[in-house]
Structure 1
Amino acid sequence: MNDVITLFLCGDVMTGRGIDQALPHPAPPDLYELWVQDAREYVSLAEAANGEFPKPMAPAHIWGDALAELAHFRPHLRLINLETGITRHGTPWPDKGIHYRMSPENAACLQAARIDCCSLANNHVMDWGVDALRETCRVLDGLGIAHAGAGEDLGAAMKPARLDVTTGHRVWVFSLGMTDSGIPPEWHAARGRPGVWLATEASAAGAEPVAERIRAHKRPGDLAVVSVHWGSNWGYRIPKGHREFAYRLVEAGADLIHGHSSHHPVGMELYRGRPILYGCGDFINDYEGIRGYEIVQPDLTLMFFPAFDAATGVLRSMSMTPLRRARFSLHRTGKDDARWLCEMLNRERQGDDPEFRLDDAGRIQWDLAQ
């Protein structure tokens, strides 16, 4: 419909380490972790947990059933948080326990899902140093994929991505992070220093620099998306400062807060008709076979398809597709897993926010008509 703009969003897309090793053109497998020094071990762990899969994988393999969902919803914009540097080279960042990278030749996996924009302000984009960040940006530019949140200096990191989605309608994507997600403070971009855009604090006052840029760029008919990497990996508690930060951005004109860093989906909220996704959960990773935190079912994830009124920016509908990761691919879940996710979202919802319901197709709907 011409009067609706539909987006696709998901959480962390971590195509480095084991995922990169299983694709056709892997980077060197060397790791500097406490327990694992060869990224190919993560491929072995995944196969031990869920069975063997063909290797090298086709670039589209990692998306699995997500591709059919994208074809079904036909979103105007596809936005991910790319939590991986794109390089074969670089020096591992010192005193950082985990280092993700994907070779530039394997970046074709992003094209396989026709990704339009990558948020880069996260705690892995500079794992292999400043030159690796520069190469990441060059590769995305070469693929025609927009990006925001990191760059050659603070001005570049703060610059939003502009996506012309329909005639007369643009989507602005602002990307930033917080140190509570594990982003090293020294990654903060500055004048003459490459890096990521870091918020000064999680509060209404800390949101003001972002609010200023929303007001400077947004015009009638535009949508403003703020993609923010914040918070801990595990658990459902939303810090008070995160809520205040998000509310201030909505008040300044943000139409959607795209939160990520949590390894599993967490609660969401509707504020002034705009959705706040506090944590979308990992979407693609190489964690299969790694035990712990089973209580939150970390192998489950969601695709988010918000549809906005093109004229007003108010949320018209929100559909979510439950998926399960296995064999380095994404698979539609059964009804029990989908129901578990739906019940979690209802448990974590705020006050008078609409309830979530599971439809006959196994998708979760935010019942905005309530």
Structure 2
Amino acid sequence: MKEPLKKMRWNDLNIIHLYEKNEVSPAADILIGGDFCPLRNYETRLLRGDRIFSDSLSRLFHQHDFTLVNLEAPLCAPALPTMSRLGFGLRCDPRIAKTLKALGIDAVGLANNHILDYRAEGLFQTMKTLEQASLLHAGAGRNLEDAERPLETICNGLRIGIWILAEKELNCAGENTPGSSFFSPERNLPRIAGMREKYDFLIIYLHAGHEFTSTPSPRIRSACRAFIDAGADLVIGHHPHVIQGVEQYGNGWIAYSLGNLVFDSDYVAAYPNTDRGFLVSLAAGRHHLNRLTLIPYKMTENYTVESLDEKDFSAFASGLQEISAPLREDAAFQKAWERNIRFRWETEYRQILRDFSRNFFNPDNSDYALRTGNLFTCPTHLEMFQEICRMHLEGKLNRDSES
């Protein structure tokens, strides 16, 4: 985005108005959020009936024809076995499903890296609980065919298709085994043309990318653009826990990461800017946008989600402009990406490599091998290691080398 962002007030909210087309035609008003993981304090507040969204944000959820978020944790019984022998996994009380419905959420995506934390039974309980609460879901299922089925809804006479995909980790379904759909451009792209013909508006909802990085990797940028080239109208990403840039590309738009919507985790909170995110509000026509609006917010120390005041909004808008600008220029994009590699090397990956040599081949530490092996089989983690090696060989990995 080279032009200054258009900041406006809408329904008592400070918003960023990206695009509007002056056309009188049927449109579906859709609201999309990122990672919704009401652990710990958020779970307590929701089950107690406390408000977690500000009044202005609450109204927003109910004012749209259709609202979607990513459910980042299964809704299942705590006694189920976890994927890890250490007993660690993300899960929420099944009663959360009814609170989602009361919040005005119509559907949830299940394609993410935590959906199998409580194994197949955790997924099955989640699906059943959502259906009992009359919530639509897609992105995971009893087998790969089921998991890859797009979410479908009809809004204002328009048939909307949302294909929900996740990074390929330990979460993925197989031909005869349950799990999530998976993000693989070679596999995904050939199906886009058929979906474009079937739906009036096609959204790719993607749980992928590098955590805590403000710039998408070259692999993610290339794939998201390829989705648009193949016929998708809009690509929306989540998973990095922080926001990433937004760009208009070809005949569509890409929001690379919406950031956290609701997330209570000490590990995540230790990183900067994980308390901020934005919702995407759009008016979808027949393979075009009538309107595209971003609604920023912040998670508070009181475990609520509030709209931004003027000071916070100004900082948010400036930050979004800064991280979006390099997306259109390859040299600037590469420089921004390499800054993020240095950050991840210093904050996590250096220690991962130190621990790896001591623990991976230890026969008494098979759980470590399971978790760490994923770092070398997941395309995103493997990409980071490859980039770290490249930058080390080029003498670019240390901050002193940054120009």
Residues 210 and 216 in structure 2, CA contact (< 8 A), matched pair in contact too: no
Q: Displacement, 1:260?
A: 0.3
Which among 75, 88, 93 is matched to residue 86 of structure 1?
Answer: 75
Q: Displacement, 1:222?
A: 1.1
Aligned pair in 2 of structure 1 residues 88, 263: CA closer, same or farther (>3 Å)? same
- 1:1-370 alignment runs, 5 A limit: 2-24=25-47, 56-58=48-50, 61-65=51-55, 66-71=57-62, 74-89=63-78, 90-94=80-84, 98-167=88-157, 169-179=158-168, 183-184=169-170, 187-199=171-183, 206-219=184-197, 222-287=200-265, 292-294=270-272, 297-308=273-284, 310-311=285-286, 313-326=287-300, 327-350=302-325
Residues 275 and 315 in structure 1, CA contact (< 8 A), matched pair in contact too: no
Paired amino acid for 1:165: C
Counterpart-to-counterpart distance in 1, 2:134 and 2:269: 38
Q: Displacement, 1:243?
A: 1.3
Counterpart-to-counterpart distance in 1, 2:243 and 2:172: 27
Residues 296 and 313 in structure 2, CA contact (< 8 A), matched pair in contact too: yes
Counterpart-to-counterpart distance in 1, 2:266 and 2:172: 32
Residues 140 and 179 in structure 2, CA contact (< 8 A), matched pair in contact too: yes
Aligned pair in 2 of structure 1 residues 76, 273: CA closer, same or farther (>3 Å)? farther
Counterpart-to-counterpart distance in 2, 1:292 and 1:10: 22
Residues 17 and 101 in structure 1, CA contact (< 8 A), matched pair in contact too: no
Q: Which has the higher helix share?
A: 2
Counterpart-to-counterpart distance in 1, 2:290 and 2:319: 22
Counterpart-to-counterpart distance in 1, 2:211 and 2:86: 16
Paired amino acid for 1:334: D
Structure 2 stretches lacking a partner, 5+ long: 1-23, 329-403
Partner deviation per Cα, 1:26-83 (whole Å, 9 max, x = no partner): xxxxxxxxxxxxxxxxxxxxxxxxxxxxxx243xx22333212335xx3222111110
Residues 285 and 328 in structure 1, CA contact (< 8 A), matched pair in contact too: no
Residues 20 and 101 in structure 1, CA contact (< 8 A), matched pair in contact too: no
Q: Displacement, 1:244?
A: 1.4
Match of 2:229, SS state, is: helix
Q: Normalising by the residue count of structure 2, what TM-score does the alignment of the two structures yield? A: 0.69
Partner deviation per Cα, 1:296-334 (whole Å, 9 max, x = no partner): x322221211223x13x2233322222121222211221
Structure 1 stretches lacking a partner, 5+ long: 25-55, 200-205, 354-370
Partner deviation per Cα, 1:276-295 (whole Å, 9 max, x = no partner): 1111000011148975333x
Counterpart-to-counterpart distance in 1, 2:311 and 2:209: 28
Counterpart-to-counterpart distance in 1, 2:210 and 2:86: 16
Partner of 2:382: none
Q: Displacement, 1:2?
A: 4.9
Counterpart-to-counterpart distance in 1, 2:212 and 2:206: 16
Output the aligned Cα RMSD: 2.3
Q: Displacement, 1:95?
A: 5.5
Q: Normalising by the residue count of structure 1, what TM-score does the alignment of the two structures yield? A: 0.75
Paired amino acid for 2:226: R
Paired amino acid for 1:237: T
Partner of 1:53: none
Counterpart-to-counterpart distance in 2, 1:221 and 1:177: 21
Q: Displacement, 1:97?
A: 8.1
Identity %: 23
Paired amino acid for 2:283: A
Paired amino acid for 2:115: V
Q: Displacement, 1:124?
A: 1.5
Match of 1:103, SS state, is: coil
Match of 2:146, SS state, is: helix
Aligned pair in 2 of structure 1 residues 114, 291: CA closer, same or farther (>3 Å)? closer
Deviates more, 1:342-351 or 1:120-129: 342-351
Paired amino acid for 2:67: R
Paired amino acid for 1:348: I
Counterpart-to-counterpart distance in 2, 1:276 and 1:286: 27
Counterpart-to-counterpart distance in 1, 2:243 and 2:137: 23
